[in-house]
Every structure is written in C-alpha cells, then in structure tokens.
A and B are shown apart, each in its own frame.
Chain A
C-alpha cells in the first residue's frame, strides 16, 4: 500500500511570510506529484504538479521534488489570508491515470 505522509498542522504563518508544506511518500517508483488546495466544505483544487527533481515555480507557489529522499514540498511566498486552507499532497500510483494516493492534508492559517 502506497503511503503519503504530511504533518496535519495546523500551520500558522503571518501575512507576507513564506509557508512551507512538506510531504513524504513511500513508493520509490512514484512518478507524478500534486498539491491540491481545499477550502472548508469545498472541492480539492489542483494548484501544482511536478514530475522531475528540482523546483517548479508558478506565481507565488513553488513545488520542490527530491525523488532520492522521497520528499515533495510546497512553498507559498507572500502568504495571504486567502491562502488559508487545507493543502493535500497526492502521488500518482499509475502512469497515465489519476488513481491518486493522498496525504491527510496540512491545515494552513495565514494570520492578517
């Protein structure tokens, strides 16, 4: 059984700070990695995907992947109160499909 581990939090950061969210996964053969954001009572929304080692930046978001350490992270720069949500790390179990394995999520609160 593939496992994805996240700190459940809550993680609190002041507005304007960098929020750092971390995730580890058990299956060394995993190839695709995703970060979803879920506001309370809403659907998970894909915000970042990463497939190769290194950093991938999109606006204020940076995903980092280290396959040797089986570690993926999400950095949110200039955090805003609207970033307050639960962030879910997900790993693709099968190439070409979306049979994802999720972590339990980290709840982030950005304090104005």
Chain B
C-alpha cells in the first residue's frame, strides 16, 4: 500500500511568487491534514479535511494560504504571494477515521528567498 505522498519534496521560490504543494493521501483515507514546521519551532496544525470538506481550518496563518481537496482525493495547498516567514517544512497526513492512526508524508521543504 502506497503511503502519503507529497510533491514537490523541495521548492525554492522568491518572495512574492506563488507555490502550490500537493498531497496524495493513502487510498481510502477520508481525513487529510496539513501541518507545518518552521525552523526551530514545533510542527503546527494548519487544517483538516473530511473528504472534500474543510472540517477545521483554524491553524491557517492568513488568507495567503488556500487549501483545496476537490473530489475528496488529493489536496493542494497554495501560498500566494509567498513571504519569507512561510519557509519551512509542510507535512500532509491522512487517516481513515477521524481519530485513527495518522500517517504522515515526508514533507515539502519550502524556502522563500
């Protein structure tokens, strides 16, 4: 069974540009989460999808971040325009049920210069 996959693994962009991160959850997992770790800090929750619906987006930092999960399969996280403080590792995770075991992807390292 394939795990949670994320694309790209690394992205280097300039301040003001747009970046789109993609996450493919494990097949059959209705619950999809985005997390972020900025340097020196803890991993922080961004938002939670149940199928295509946003269940909780309380962790989204501001309106420059837009997450979608069309069709309830893969998800994208777009940052537009990117700022320096957006640099960090963006993790996607999925679980079959709401409180069931959470599987993480290996993350996208985003560097905004």
List A residues at the B interface (Cβ < 8 Å): 4, 32, 36, 41-46, 49, 88, 92-105
Contact = CB atoms under 8 A, between A and B. Distances in A.
B107 A43 contact: yes
Interface in B85-100: 91, 93, 95, 98-100
A98 B42 contact: no
B104 A99 contact: no
Interface string B40-84: 111111001000000110010000000000000000000000000
A42 to B, nearest CB: 6
A36 B35 CA distance: 14
Binding site secondary structure of chain A = loop
Contacts of B106: 41-43
Contacts of A94: 56
B105 A43 contact: yes
Given A44-B104, A93-B45, A101-B45, 12 more contacts: A32-B99, A43-B3, A43-B91, A44-B91, A46-B101, A98-B98, A99-B59, A100-B43, A100-B45, A102-B42, A103-B42, A104-B40
A4 B42 contact: yes
Nearest to A104: B42
A100 B56 CA distance: 12
Contact of A98 (B3, B43, B102, B107): B102
A97 B42 contact: no
B44 A45 contact: no
A45 to B, nearest CB: 7
Given A96-B98, A98-B95, A98-B102, A105 B42 contact: yes
Contacts of B31: 97-98
The 10 closest A-B pairs by CB, nearest first: A43-B104, A102-B43, A96-B98, A43-B106, A98-B102, A102-B42, A96-B99, A104-B42, A44-B104, A97-B98
